[in-house]
């Protein structure tokens, strides 16, 4: 059974690019997309993904608030924050909100894939 990934980013181009890259990985499928944290919560409830890739800065509900709620709803589902923003303070706040890993959008896409692989291995 393939590992199911939910992608959450307000930029539809980013979502499409990430979807295309992740779907090239054997045994992975993108089960859905959301454009903000509120949509992410709704989709996560409906789709029960194995992992959620979550942006930080989004309208309606940001990634940190969504992470806090998602960890209450689906505590076993790891959350990976994929963002343009980097700081020690953000990392600490993200971890306390329930984020399992952070990847900067400026890093190689291989970093994203490797971190997702690690998170998916843990839930296997």
DSSP 18-70: HHHHHTTSTTEEEEEEESSHHHHHHHHHHH--SEEEE-SS-SSS-HHHHHHHH
pLDDT tens digits for range 67-98: 999 999 999 999 999 988 778 888 899 999 99
> Where in the chain are the domains?
3-123
Q: Percent of the chain at pLDDT above 90? A: 88
Q: Check if CATH label 3.40.50.2300 holds for domain 3-123.
A: yes
Q: Write the burial class of residue 46 (CB in 10 Å: 0-12 exposed, 13-18 middle, 19+ buried).
A: exposed
Strand partners, 54: 8, 81
pLDDT tens digits for range 53-65: 999 999 999 999 9
User: Of 109, 8, 110, which is closest to residue 52 (Cα–Cα)?
Assistant: 8
């Amino acid at each position: 059974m393939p590992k199911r990934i939910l992608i959450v980013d307000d930029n539809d181009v980013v979502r499409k690019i990430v979807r295309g890259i992740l779907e090239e990985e054997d045994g992975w499928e993108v089960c859905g997309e959301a454009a903000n944290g509120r949509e992410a919560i709704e989709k996560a409830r409906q789709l029960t993904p194995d992992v959620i890739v979550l942006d930080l800065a989004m309208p309606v509900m940001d990634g940190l608030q969504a992470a806090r709620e998602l960890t209450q709803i689906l505590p076993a589902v790891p959350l990976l924050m994929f963002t343009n923003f980097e700081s020690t303070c953000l990392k600490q706040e993200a971890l306390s909100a329930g984020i399992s890993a952070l990847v900067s959008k400026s890093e190689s896409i291989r970093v994203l894939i490797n971190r997702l692989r690690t998170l998916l291995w843990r839930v296997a």
